[in-house]
Amino acid sequence: MSIGEYYKQLNLPETASQEEIKRAYRRLRAKYHPDRNKGRESNVEPIFKRIQEAFEVLTGARAPTPHGPSGTQEASRHAQTRQPQSHRSDERDARKPWSAAANRWHAYRSGEEGPPLRGANRHDKLYVPLEAALNGGHVPTSYQITAPCKQCRGMSARFNPGRCPDCEGQGKTAHGTRCGSCGGSGRANVNRCAACQNTGSESYWKTDQVAVPAGAWDGQQLTVTGGGFPGSNGGPAGDAILSVVILCGSDIQRDGLNLIGELNVDFVTATLGGPFETHLLGRDLRIAISPNAAQGSVIRLASHGLSDASGNQGELRLHVVLAMPAGAAHLTDEQREQFRQLFDDAARRGL
């Protein structure tokens, strides 16, 4: 990109002074910052980044990436003509290990760097198990972020080595010997940050424990303060805006807000009826079983299903599955015969 295009990004003529560049940058940064454009972050972030890049190039903070054969040379000539000799001397001094990091506050006070900026918010999905959605709990979420390098505080990116000027990036002299300036690497010999290799940033995985309230619903947005992307120039991190997605296990089906499952009931309780206690979906339930409950009959528990944003709540539908009581294995032959007679007598009365 040519220098003229960087001026266009800031809506400035090429004759603009450094002070005019700073004023335009501050105005446009405030207008297009993602935090000031809620709901439009994806639209303004590319504009915001181009404004940031234009400011850095035109103030000599970093060299532009050329998109034509003369982009780098034009930027270099422009920076040299706009900057006094004393400023170029300061840049040479800044190549000492991390002297730029030590002078960060002074640069901010003098207007060479922007003020601390809050990081962008992170928008993501939070997959919540059914029990946590019903009863509340903490759900982990992990994501990868790129942040300023902790060792050099992101300052080494300014010293990212370019092509060695003595061997023109070949690593060898015209006579075929190893270049003494770059040691044969073909890159300019500058101090390197061992942690980030002068990229100024590092990537790592971050894990948050998200508090999910009881009765959470699909699409509910939960905010984790500081769970977003890191800020710049020492600014605070943004927030994580997480949209709830409820996950059901294989033993439970959903029908809108209603939940459908099975309830194993021993045939004695199913025959006689009465209270039945069970632990289901993270809850202790006391259920009234009607006499002569048949296989596949449905027990409905109101307000035991999922919720929605309007406060509506579904029901829990349990299909009865008959099971043998635990004591059946210990019946004597006499007791089994008594059972048989009881059912035979009942069958004759039904005729």
Q: Give me the helices (H) in the chain, please.
A: 3-9, 18-32, 41-58, 71-82, 85-93, 99-102, 104-110, 130-135, 267-272, 333-349
**HEC secondary structure over 184-217:** CCCECCCCCCCCCCCCCEEEEEEEEEEEECCCCC
* Over residues 219-233, mean pLDDT: 87
pLDDT digits (tens, 9 = 90+) for 10-65: 888 888 888 888 889 988 988 888 888 888 888 888 888 888 888 888 876 544 44
- What was the pLDDT predicted at 192? 66
**Domain range 120-141+200-247, CATH architecture:** Sandwich (2.60)
The single-letter DSSP state of residue 118 is P
Pick the CATH number of 3-83 from 3.90.1150.10, 3.40.50.300, 1.10.540.10, 1.10.287.110: 1.10.287.110
Whether 120-141+200-247 shares its CATH topology with 253-349 is answered yes
* Over residues 136-140, mean pLDDT: 95
Per-domain residue ranges of the chain: 3-83, 120-141+200-247, 253-349
- What was the pLDDT predicted at 113? 52
Using alpha carbons, select from 232, 202, 223 the residue that is nearest to residue 29.
232
* Over residues 105-132, mean pLDDT: 74
Residue 11 has which token pair?
Answer: 């809506």
CATH of domain 253-349: 2.60.260.20
Higher pLDDT, 158 or 94: 158
Torsion 183-91-12-77 (CA) sign = negative
Using alpha carbons, select from 19, 34, 18, 236 the residue that is nearest to residue 115.
236
